[in-house]
Structure 1
Amino acid sequence: MGNACNGCFQKEIISDGNNTGQPSSKPIINFEEIEETKSPKGAGRKSKPKIAAVTWQKVKEVNEAVTAVISARPKSSEDINMILNALNSHFILRNLDEDSQRHIIDQMKHFSVNSGEIITQQGFPGKYFFVLATGRLEVIVNGIRQNVLKPGTGFGELALLDDKPRTATVKSAQKSTLWGVDRLTFKQAVEAVNRMNYEENKLFINSVPIFEILTSQQKEALLASITTQKWDNRQAIVKEGEVGDLFYIIKEGVVLCTKEGVEIRQMIKGDFFGEQALLYNSKRTATITCVGAVKVLCIGRGSLLEALGENLQQVIYRNIQKKAIEKSEPLKNLTKEQSQKMMDAMKIAKFSSGEVVVSKNSLQGSKLCIIMKGRVRGPLGVYETFSCIGDDKISQTSEQNNPENYIAETDADIAQISKEEFERCLGVGGIAPATNNNAALAVLKQVQLLRNLPKDRLKALLQVLRTVDFRDREAIVQENETGDTLYIVKTGKVSIFKDNTNVRTLTMHDYFGERSILFNERRSATVVAEGNVTCWTLEKNDFESIIDFSMRTQLLKRIELQDNTIMLDQLVMIKPLGKGMFGNVYLMTHKEKGAFYAMKTVPRSKIVAYNIHESLVLERKILLQLDHTMIVKLVKTFKDSKRIYFLMEYVRGIDLFDVLRQLGLLKEDDARFYTACLVVILEYLHKRDIIYRDLKPENIMIDEEGYPKLIDFGIAKIVNGRSYTTVGTPHYMAPEVIMGNGYNSAVDWWSLGIMIYEFVFGTVPFGENEEDTYKVYERVIEHNLIFPTNIKHTTHLKSIITQLLSVKGASRTGGSISKLKKHKFLAGFKWEVMFSRGISPPYVPKLRSLTSEAAKAFKSKKNFLDTILRDEISVETPIHAGKSKSSVPMNWDIEF
């Protein structure tokens, strides 16, 4: 819910694409905890208010043209042309594709009004876009007539995006007729067309053989690179002998394929041509001519290079290598980094049919081959694409030659690497020790206490693991004894006994005793070997030699946040943190442990009134997936007959919006630090198919150590494919969100580009001086990206901003997040040191202790539920809010 804070930050909702309402946006920071700062407000940075997000929650009903007679009258060709001209006079509507425009026109209804009737009213939320068909309308602002509208004029277009109050009253000066469409119908119409096109285009892409090996993410990038072209009868789409770089899929119509003037065949919907142009930029081998009107999907080599980060041939080859490694028993357990190094070191060689690929005069296992294209015959049969040759021998030392030659049966492309280069990539002397260590590392990553450690610390722990063998029935640990060792079962199985009762069995790669490396606790159970058992062990002394005090403190904090046994009656309220439209947030402390939490409360009356139960369920689902040191953590949810509760990590600090006002224009090194942190946060979310959709300084807390923490997941969404909802904060909103054409996680990278610009130049690049949402949207769509000349900046900074603010969403990461991390602006950034919090941040808040406030709260012994109830009573639910109680299903909160 974007209504009350996650952590100690709170903001309110203004509106959404379907609804109305414009509550104020007021972030709540615990200023009584933040020491006075004597530094001036940031020089060179404009002072501006915090801006709330556009969301989808229902706030109130909107009515316009209430006296009009509305009908679904058929439209003449003149009506259609008039409406089309009106659509093309407004930036939002003229940027829609022709199919969307036609679909919207189909949905428009006929309005008839008598003279003197109100169409729209100044100060009231908007709902409709109108086109005046006949008659005359007056535009009145503050009671004074400002303009007269004539037939063919469109007005009220901002209402199609959100429900901001109308800036003028429109009144009929005589009997008039209009064509109108409301926001919900408009959005549904645009979504229907774009969703249908997306799904159809996806089917086309999946039917093309050269795209089969692409990953789902790469196919999404490819889909985002598609353009649509229309061709007329007898037009030649491609001509024989021309050099081509475009690939085509027929979406509608028929084409004729001719070679040297001779007809070869006809092609219809779903057929494709020009695939060699994507791979090799080769000459066209035939002429393709339209038979009647034809619509094609078009993909260019340049667009694919931007979207994928490499040319299509390289991407295909890399994907084949990955798939071959996954299929190979000896290679499949290599880490991502090991596989990457090996693939980077492999060289692609071309072999003609009949040529020797691996000689019988060479030693067995002297090189590893992966077949990228074609077939190879060896002593054990035929090897085809995705097959490895030599993977079973390359880690062995052999003095024997291959028994026979491996010969190409067809022209073949082979990726090759020598034994020496292979072992250098692994860095551990072979596959066996490498995969053995990989298994142990994978388990360490699963240990709850260790999962947030950076990779370099986990790898360091790996080096101090010992291997210990246990005999059948041997007790590995004893209940109630003091422990100092973590055990990971390498082979065999063990039984867990509590009070002499067998409670469960652990097998390979299970672990036990993890708390002993952090706490001086007695063992809670006895563990006995069932048969011969081998364990990896991690001793407390070794652990403490690798994990420094700061990191250990972080681990202890995370452990507190993983305690889901907390009950409401174990908490004491210290004070309110924030009040929102839908709920409130309070600072809480645990009666026994003294740990601090932020608790968000949402009364059931508001849930029913605003119909927000689905949003709460989604927010909980998303938050439960997240466990990252730079993302606010949900500890637990509660419910009772009065309300729903979210018990959250309490983030002590100040939001980045206010930090930027203190720091002024950031130096590039400081901007690089915040950028790198946000890249890591977004990478974590996107791997889980979560789009944040409202990235901006207000939603990032700078914690007590100066590191960012992402808060407020009220409008985040889990998306497989595309979303169409208009949500976010206008100045940070990607153009595809505004247009409603469908979008994916690329919108978050756009928002990051806006933020980097703001870090360094002190303003947002589009609509900085605009308060009117419509004008902000217009500036975003115009995309006039200008860099100030009076502020020094490097070409690398300008490059990453330009890349992230590409109108092509697929181009923003340069092909992948790993490629984005290698951008020259981020080159050399110490990622692992950042994970260890070893980089000094640009700003560290000075915070006062909460001890005295906590002590006062303990003494008061007030029932915090009474305080919550008083706060809820003080804010009435508007009569016009939301839907009826019947729209909220029974047991919607069953998982809370």
Structure 2
Amino acid sequence: MGSCLRTSSRPRVIINDNEGQEISEANTKTSRKFKQSMPDPRLSKDTKVPTDAKFAIVQDKSKSKADISFINVSLTKHFIFNSLTEEQRESVINHMKYYILEPREIVFEQNSVGSTFFVIAHGKLEVIIDEKRVNVLRPQDSFGELALIHDTPRSATLKTIENSSLWGVDRKTFRNTLEQINALNYAENHGLIESIPVFKILNNTQIESLISSIATNMYGQGQVIVNEGETGDLLFIIKQGSVVCSQEGKDIKTMEKGDYFGEQALLYNSVRTATITAAENTKCLTIGRTELTKLFGTSLQLIIHKNSQRIAFDKNVYLKKLTKTQFEKLLNCSEIKELSEGEKVIFAGTRKGDNVVVVIKGELTTLDEEIVYKVFDIIGLDEAIQALDDVFENDYYAKGDVNLAIIPNISFFNAIGGDYHKVTTNNDAIKLLKKIPLFRYLSEEQFESLIQCLRVENFKNETIIFSQNQPGESLFLIKSGRVEVIDKDTNRVLRNITKDDYFGERSLLFDKFRSATIKAKGEVTCWVLYKSDFMSILDEKLKKLLMKRIELQDDNLNLNDFHIVNQIGTGTFGNVFLVIHKQKKSLYALKAVNKKKIRAYEMEDNLLLERKILLQIDHVLISKLIKTFKDDKRVYFLLEYIRGMNLFNVLRKLDVLTVADAKFYTACIFLMLEHLHERDIIYRDLHPMNIMIDDEGYPKLIDFGAAKIIKGRTYTIAGIPPHYMAPEIITGHGYTLSADYWSAGIMLYEFLYAAVPFGEEENDPYVVYEMIQQGKLVFPTNADNKDKIKDLLVQLLSKNPATRLGGSFENLKAHHWFIGINWEKIVRRELPTPYVPILSTILHDAETALKQRKPLDEVITKAEKHDEIPKPRPIKEGFNVNWDEEFKG
């Protein structure tokens, strides 16, 4: 089946089994239990109305020191609060309200939806499960902590035995309190990090990772922080308080909030040049050299050198024309040279073009101290590119400490791939080709072959490049100039196409007649690729893939072009149908969401976000949105139809995967995440139920109901099952894209050992969350560390989110365990797959649908007949009644 629809709680998943039967996940026997799901994140926060202590008298009572201490002791029993700082816990306690209840009053009932956590201040309460008392709670006992995470139904009834009072905090207050404190703390830490010169060269992603790795330490008055003469590897930033610096027992200066010391320790194992002592109670942020190396996959010094070169390259008119691969090759072939004040750097008479030299730190001067070259200047590049014999007329010297990146002439041209002018001309063509979805799946070698096939053609003003209804046989890439697209029947100009755009791509694969006339307006130069040349570099498998992908780009479709074959998915918010195009006979998945439900659940913004996200995604391993529609009753998502089996069920059939199979599925998952994260999309719902294995055995990521576009951090609890949830989501401290890597790590562990690492035998979400927070990663006794697989799992399942990626996706893909994986062949679907589902034919159903021609609305209305739709809520002021305009087909 294929859909982007998720269901709430334990989803009923219908699949095509070997015999073509419909199988419900709930009634299949398997050692692989699918873990309890979270409530769907698209449910409005007010959809389920909490009924906690509804007859209690609630007061905003001030708390004495004794009250605060009393509550604090109770909170320390729960991992949710143990992970909080003293400041956070104090703020949560200050927000707790006082509940007064009489005897025999119900606080909440079993299976009700709750949102409040309680600590008993006075009195006694009984715990009742299935109408039987199982426990009695007394002062300082607490209950309902899971409600602070999500809407899980209460597992018991709580009733007062005598007059009782409780301290309580609801989920919204708890989460908002943490978010406000964490957001302020994050902003302050961000500012402190950016103020330190050694970090100014880091990019936003690197700074974000750095902030996630900061440790906070408290020092009492008079406590020595570092000792003169010791070797250190920590940088300290004063966040609160002050310190005294002394040398040989003599005080030199005092440093306060925002000051820092020990920065050289991050670059070198340097000796401390002073003793630092806390002058009062002092809070310091600390960053370790070893931690940074784990974080970035290399030393901070190398990161700074490479970032400096990147900035210089980006500023240079020549080098900005290079590709990312050429950039990286230049960085990797450069040699770093460190020079001291006054040291001679360049000798008079040396040929300028012998080396390309990048100034990445300091300045170069003449003998009379005239500054000639500054940081980020590039020396010798013009001469190397133009093959000039110019020489330096003067000697040049280092002013202060100077770092240079030196690239020998021959290394420069080897790195970029030959003659600069020819290479960059090809780069322009390749850049344009890569914009065309049709070419996304070509290998580097195929791109090189493609470039050799391009022919440059010039067209004079008013030249007809081709005419409407003429057979198409070529693609045109505009190198310079402008063309008009004209409807020949009406002689109307439909649009203009200019430099760095293209036209005619569909003619490379399909025997199509031109749909419009193209006329040159002014002088026009194009690269032209002919169909015969293009076909000569494709094999049949790639040709088939490209034809399928380009068909998914066809947005000339209307809702009335389809007949429904059958229903293939159902959920809380909508239904998914297999539909067939009346003329093309192509199959698609159509998700229909009733507008009454949308209004009742206030889902308008969620659906707009889901649409926005899906339109940004175009990857062979991810379900593709083709188009959206709307009518008076519903909004619709027309999706790629994925015929296959759910990965959950495939794992059940395969039981324990071979290492090769685990490697294949994991590599596919990382390619999915790479595509999403490059677009700032966090998926937040990664587990086997949300991956389909298609009819060729390749995985496809489905269901983007929990996805979100983020820059920085988010605090929302998403709909992922407990066993796959990252620890930072649970505790409410804020999380980033790296939460997805945790889920990928859980799946990798599951692939290898047929169990999840935390709470395999547990169904109680709270217990699972607690085990995740403890983070005790245990491997089976027969597990080895071949190819450093344990190291990879430890990295992905690190409680420090910033270290999971290992610096970059390139570093992750280069991990020793992935040696032998051809990442390009996965994208081109050229590797053998672990399991190909045996699927029953749908030909008969499709033919029946074409014959019966039942109206879409009739079939969908019948499917919605038994839907429960809550009472619509009053429309708030400012509500956009035309919110669905974007869904218009």
* Separation in 2, partners of 1:378, 1:687: 45
**Which residue matches 1:608?**
599
After superposing the two structures, state which structure 1 stretch, 733-742 or 535-544, moved more: 535-544
After superposing the two structures, state which structure 1 stretch, 542-551 or 437-446, moved more: 542-551
Aligned pairs (5 A) from 1:414-813: 414-427=404-417, 429-499=418-488, 502-727=493-718, 728-790=720-782, 794-813=786-805
Aligned pairs (5 A) from 1:64-213: 64-213=52-201
CA deviation after TM superposition for structure 1 residue 239, in Å:
2.6
Q: Is the 8 A contact 1:42 1:663 kept in 2?
A: no
CA deviation after TM superposition for structure 1 residue 495, in Å:
4.1
Residue 48 in structure 1 maps to residue 33 in structure 2 = yes
CA deviation after TM superposition for structure 1 residue 520, in Å:
1.9
Q: Is the 8 A contact 1:42 1:660 kept in 2?
A: no
Aligned partner (choices 352, 357, 361) of residue 349 of structure 2:
361
Residues 777-815 of structure 1 show CA distances to partners (whole Å, capped at 9, x for unaligned) of: 111111111111235662522221111111111111111
* Separation in 1, partners of 2:6, 2:460: 60
CA deviation after TM superposition for structure 1 residue 841, in Å:
0.8
SS in structure 1 at match of 2:352: coil
SS in structure 2 at match of 1:409: strand
SS in structure 1 at match of 2:285: strand
Residues 306-329 of structure 1 show CA distances to partners (whole Å, capped at 9, x for unaligned) of: 111112111111100111111111
**Which residue matches 1:17?**
none
* Separation in 2, partners of 1:784, 1:324: 45
Provide the identity percentage: 44
After superposing the two structures, state which structure 1 stretch, 117-126 or 659-668, moved more: 117-126
Q: 1:55 to 1:633 in 2, by over 3 A?
A: same
Q: Is the 8 A contact 1:30 1:577 kept in 2?
A: no
Instruction: Figure out how many residues of one structure are paired with residues of the other and give that number.
Output: 875
Residue 13 in structure 1 maps to residue 8 in structure 2 = yes
Aligned partner (choices 834, 849, 853) of residue 857 of structure 1:
849
* Separation in 2, partners of 1:87, 1:832: 51
Q: Is the 8 A contact 1:133 1:151 kept in 2?
A: yes
Equivalent residue letter for 1:860: Q
Q: 1:32 to 1:666 in 2, by over 3 A?
A: closer
Q: TM-score, normalised by structure 2?
A: 0.94
Residue 402 in structure 1 maps to residue 424 in structure 2 = no
After superposing the two structures, state which structure 1 stretch, 47-56 or 602-611, moved more: 47-56
CA deviation after TM superposition for structure 1 residue 392, in Å:
1.1
CA deviation after TM superposition for structure 1 residue 532, in Å:
4.5
SS in structure 2 at match of 1:800: helix
After superposing the two structures, state which structure 1 stretch, 85-94 or 453-462, moved more: 453-462
CA deviation after TM superposition for structure 1 residue 675, in Å:
1.1
Equivalent residue letter for 1:440: A
Residue 877 in structure 1 maps to residue 869 in structure 2 = yes
CA deviation after TM superposition for structure 1 residue 404, in Å:
3.0
Aligned partner (choices 7, 12, 15) of residue 29 of structure 1:
15
* Separation in 2, partners of 1:867, 1:528: 47
Equivalent residue letter for 1:373: K
* Separation in 2, partners of 1:892, 1:810: 37
**Which residue matches 1:329?**
317
CA deviation after TM superposition for structure 1 residue 31, in Å:
4.3
* Separation in 1, partners of 2:345, 2:235: 33
Q: Is the 8 A contact 1:127 1:182 kept in 2?
A: yes
SS in structure 2 at match of 1:289: strand
Q: TM-score, normalised by structure 1?
A: 0.94
* Separation in 1, partners of 2:365, 2:833: 59
* Separation in 2, partners of 1:185, 1:363: 69
SS in structure 2 at match of 1:189: helix
* Separation in 2, partners of 1:698, 1:406: 64
CA deviation after TM superposition for structure 1 residue 748, in Å:
0.6
CA deviation after TM superposition for structure 1 residue 163, in Å:
2.4
* Separation in 2, partners of 1:867, 1:36: 20
Aligned pairs (5 A) from 1:207-286: 207-286=195-274
* Separation in 2, partners of 1:455, 1:849: 38
CA deviation after TM superposition for structure 1 residue 456, in Å:
4.0
After superposing the two structures, state which structure 1 stretch, 126-135 or 805-814, moved more: 126-135
After superposing the two structures, state which structure 1 stretch, 705-714 or 632-641, moved more: 632-641
**Which residue matches 2:372?**
382
After superposing the two structures, state which structure 1 stretch, 373-382 or 705-714, moved more: 373-382
Q: Is the 8 A contact 1:250 1:269 kept in 2?
A: yes
- Identify unmatched segments of 5+ residues in structure 2: none
**Which residue matches 1:833?**
825
* Separation in 1, partners of 2:270, 2:8: 54
Q: Is the 8 A contact 1:367 1:390 kept in 2?
A: yes
Equivalent residue letter for 1:385: V
* Separation in 2, partners of 1:772, 1:36: 29
* Separation in 2, partners of 1:493, 1:583: 46
* Separation in 1, partners of 2:152, 2:496: 61
SS in structure 1 at match of 2:438: coil
CA deviation after TM superposition for structure 1 residue 889, in Å:
4.1
Q: Is the 8 A contact 2:785 2:791 kept in 1?
A: no
Residues 542-579 of structure 1 show CA distances to partners (whole Å, capped at 9, x for unaligned) of: 11111222222222222222222211111111111111
Q: Is the 8 A contact 1:53 1:694 kept in 2?
A: no
Q: Is the 8 A contact 1:25 1:50 kept in 2?
A: no
Residue 412 in structure 1 maps to residue 433 in structure 2 = no
Equivalent residue letter for 1:47: R
CA deviation after TM superposition for structure 1 residue 33, in Å:
8.1
* Separation in 1, partners of 2:565, 2:419: 58
**Which residue matches 1:19?**
none
Q: 1:532 to 1:158 in 2, by over 3 A?
A: closer
SS in structure 2 at match of 1:233: coil
CA deviation after TM superposition for structure 1 residue 305, in Å:
1.4
CA deviation after TM superposition for structure 1 residue 190, in Å:
1.5
SS in structure 2 at match of 1:618: helix
Q: 1:557 to 1:502 in 2, by over 3 A?
A: same
After superposing the two structures, state which structure 1 stretch, 364-373 or 560-569, moved more: 560-569
* Separation in 1, partners of 2:234, 2:52: 49
Q: Is the 8 A contact 2:787 2:816 kept in 1?
A: no
Q: Is the 8 A contact 1:254 1:267 kept in 2?
A: yes
